[in-house]
Amino acid sequence: MDSNMMKYSKIIMSFLTEHAKHPISNAPRVRHHLIVNKEQSEFVLLSVGWKGNKYQHGIIFHIEIQNGLIHIYKDNTDIGIADQLAKDGIPKSSIVLSFLPRYIQEETEFATVAEPE
């Protein structure tokens, strides 16, 4: 991983670690779990636990550093992690909203990548 990607990895890790510290106010028995691969190039933040009598297990964020770009595969929040990462120092030209089709990606300020054939 080059120095920019290492810097981006640290920014992502810092953001997700901080986000994971905050409990869900209306679900105190739901905890956050941050999962990071050994290379610190893939990050998943999960919510796991009970909200009332309903069990929850879901992905909050899924991010991967791949081919010099930050791919956001999942953002199940209203905060907009792409904007937060840009505010923290990652250029928008390095962030791909991979959960959107290319024709919508092209309408954003963020990077685009070709869709797989």
Domain CATH for 60: 3.30.310.110
Q: What is the mean pLDDT of the segment spanning 93-115?
A: 92
Q: Is the pTM of this model over 0.85?
A: yes
Residue 71 domain flag: yes
Q: How many structural domains comprise the chain?
A: 1
Beta-carbon contacts of residue 50 (< 8 Å; ≥ 6 apart)? 27, 29, 30, 56
Residues 69, 96 contacting (CB under 8 angstroms): yes
Mean pLDDT, the chain, integer: 91
Q: What is the pLDDT of residue 10?
A: 96
**CA nearest neighbour of 95 among 73, 111, 84, 83:** 111
Confidence of residue 107 (pLDDT cuts 50, 70, 90): very high
Which strand (E) or helix (H) includes residue 97?
strand 95-97
Residue 17 domain flag: yes
Residue 115 structure tokens: 């869709």
